[in-house]
Amino acid sequence: MGAVGLLYVGAVLVVNGVMLLGHVSPAGAAPLNLFVGGLQVVTPTYLIIAADGDQAQIALAAGLYYFGFTYLWVGINGIAGWPGEGLGWFSLVVAAAAVGFAAHSWLVVGDRTFAVIWLLWAVLWFGFFLLLARHEDHLTGAVGVLALGEGLLTAAVPAFLIITGWWSESLTTALVVAVLGVLLLAVSVPLGRTLSVPAPPAPTQPGAAPGAQ
Residue ranges of domains in the chain, CATH in brackets: 2-195 (1.25.40.600)
- Mean pLDDT of all residues in the chain? 91
Report how far Cα 88 is from the mean position of its chain's Cα atoms: 13
Confidence of residue 211 (pLDDT cuts 50, 70, 90): very low
pLDDT (0 to 100) of residue 210: 43
Where on the phi/psi map is residue 207: left (φ > 0), alpha (ψ -120 to 50), or beta?
left
Residue 207 clears pLDDT 60, i.e. is over it: no
Q: Which of 88, 158, 160 is nearest to 124 (CA)?
A: 88
Given a contact cutoff of 8 angstroms between Cβ atoms, the answer to whether 47 and 61 are in contact is yes
pLDDT (0 to 100) of residue 103: 95
Given a contact cutoff of 8 angstroms between Cβ atoms, the answer to whether 22 and 40 are in contact is no
Q: Where are the alpha helices (DSSP H) in the chain?
A: 2-20, 26-51, 55-62, 64-80, 85-104, 112-132, 140-150, 157-164, 171-195
Three-state secondary-structure class, residue 109: helix
